[in-house]
């Protein structure tokens, strides 16, 4: 009979306790599916005394996660603390050096240090798995590395931060401002301790960097992502988009072209009839496009105790079955370093601006756009104040470079009352 597979769990927050519950409540099912009994040997967290709702007195306790990662009675080190560096990185490195398999939910660490950790793990012949790091309960890592391995991936598109999607959909459904919904989401505990990780797009960009590496066989390059958060999205933008049949989403897009790897995480307009347009609340969605499969759309809960713990246990079960594969789907040494490519593929754009309310202001803006090669598809002027007139423009398909040229030229017209908001209209 196979010996039990013993876990050491570092981090007993929402996800860590979710893992403990699955093992305690469904141990017989896990053993039937993997052929091995899965048990917890030891745990580590900041506080021993906190009531976490499940008994932990049957497990050894280590105050130092590095000590936990190197215990003789730990076969798999499960890192659920988070953080780019510090104890998380040190303990994962220690586990790898000790020949332990590792399961983590730490997207920030992988987005920054993934290449080095992958090389170390593969040199040791151990597994480093991280399904829980991207899109919660959605098996997107497994889909890319296994189910779609026969495809040349052409594009990855995703809504991968539930907090941002909650804010944007709540603004629309309740007619509330960004500031009001931000405060609401913060009060409900939906935002990270540093909310900028969520609303600034950083958390979602970490996930996109990981998916890009797997999809296109490249080294993880978080710094190469064009990044813009949702802070400038107003309730007016939400309403204007809806008027024209669009929704606003924080959308990640990655594709490899002849010029290099294009990665962007920024607010975009998507058709309200598309799968992304219909995505509500904290749900995540990832669309993967391949030469043979065309498009696969994965949808599900992007965070939370159950969904994320489910992803952790999926990795644990694969290790229990003896299943191994390279960290990013192919040997780390074969991952390419490719040039960073800014977005050049043409698309329509949404422009919102406030103009000084004087004769000829709108004509000057139209002239500037025309001179930059940007043609206008639709233009609307909304009710104005005593001094400014809000204007909404949707362009025909053009390049972002042409839009940027026009925006720069507008600064010299003397008719802008505020900086324009520019959003790409994405085909999904």
Residues recognised as catalytic: 207
Euclidean distance between CA atoms 120 and 88, whole angstroms: 16
Count CB neighbours of 212 within 10 A. Answer: 30
Whether residue 299 contacts residue 138, with contact meaning beta carbons closer than 8 Å, is answered with: yes
Q: How far apart are the first and last CA of the chain?
A: 50
| Strand blocks (E) in 11-136 | 38-44, 60-61, 76-79, 101-104, 128-129
> What does the block give as tokens for 142?
């497994």
Q: Are 261 and 340 in contact (CB under 8 A)?
A: yes
Contact 307, 166 (CB under 8 A): no
Contact 45, 16 (CB under 8 A): yes
Whole-angstrom distance, CA of residue 221 vs CA of residue 107: 13
Close Cβ partners of 47 (under 8 Å, ≥ 6 residues apart): none
In degrees rounded to 5, what are phi and psi of residue 157?
-130, 135
Closest to 128 in 3D by CA, of 334, 321, 318, 335: 318
**Locate tokens 């017989």: which residue?**
28
Longest dimension (CA), the chain: 86
What is the C-alpha separation between 105 and 99, in angstroms, rounded? 19
Both tokens of 3, joined, read 């010996």
């Amino acid at each position: 009979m196979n010996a039990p597979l013993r876990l050491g769990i570092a981090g007993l927050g929402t996800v860590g306790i979710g893992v403990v519950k699955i093992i305690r409540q469904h141990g017989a099912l896990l053993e039937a599916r993997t052929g091995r009994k899965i048990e917890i040997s030891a745990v580590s967290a900041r506080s021993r005394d906190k009531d976490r709702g499940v008994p932990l007195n049957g497990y050894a306790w280590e105050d130092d996660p590095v000590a936990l990662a190197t215990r003789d009675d730990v076969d798999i080190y499960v890192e659920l603390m988070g953080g780019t560096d510090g104890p998380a990185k040190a303990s994962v490195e220690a586990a790898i050096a000790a020949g332990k398999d590792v399961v983590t939910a730490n997207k920030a660490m992988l987005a920054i240090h993934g290449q080095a950790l992958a090389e170390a793990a593969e040199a040791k012949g151990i597994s480093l798995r991280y399904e829980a790091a991207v899109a919660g309960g959605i098996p997107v890592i497994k889909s890319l590395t296994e189910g779609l391995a026969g495809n040349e991936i052409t594009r990855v598109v995703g809504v991968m931060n539930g907090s941002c999607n909650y804010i944007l959909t709540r603004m629309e459904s309740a007619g509330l401002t960004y500031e009001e919904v931000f405060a609401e989401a913060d009060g409900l505990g939906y935002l990270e301790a540093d909310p900028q990780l969520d609303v600034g797009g950083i958390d979602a960009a970490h996930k996109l960097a990981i998916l890009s590496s797997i999809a296109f066989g490249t080294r993880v390059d978080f710094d190469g992502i064009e990044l813009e958060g949702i802070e400038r999205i107003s309730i007016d933008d939400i309403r204007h988009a809806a008027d024209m049949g669009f929704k606003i989403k924080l959308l990640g897009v990655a594709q490899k072209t002849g010029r290099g790897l294009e990665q962007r995480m920024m607010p975009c307009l998507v058709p309200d009839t598309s799968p992304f347009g219909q995505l509500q609340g904290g749900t995540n969605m990832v669309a993967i496009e391949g030469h043979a499969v065309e498009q696969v759309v994965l949808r599900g809960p992007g965070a939370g105790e159950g969904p994320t713990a489910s992803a952790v246990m999926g990795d644990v079960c694969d290790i229990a079955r003896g299943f191994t594969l390279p960290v990013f789907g192919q040997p780390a040494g074969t991952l390419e370093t490719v040039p960073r490519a800014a977005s050049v593929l043409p698309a329509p754009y949404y422009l919102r601006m406030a103009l000084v309310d004087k004769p000829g202001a709108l004509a000057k803006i139209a002239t500037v756009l025309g001179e930059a090669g940007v043609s206008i598809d639709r233009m609307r002027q909304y009710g104005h104040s005593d001094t400014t007139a809000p204007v909404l423009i949707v362009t025909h398909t053009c390049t972002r470079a042409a839009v940027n040229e026009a925006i720069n030229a507008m600064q010299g017209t003397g008719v802008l009352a505020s900086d324009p908001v520019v959003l790409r209209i994405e085909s999904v």
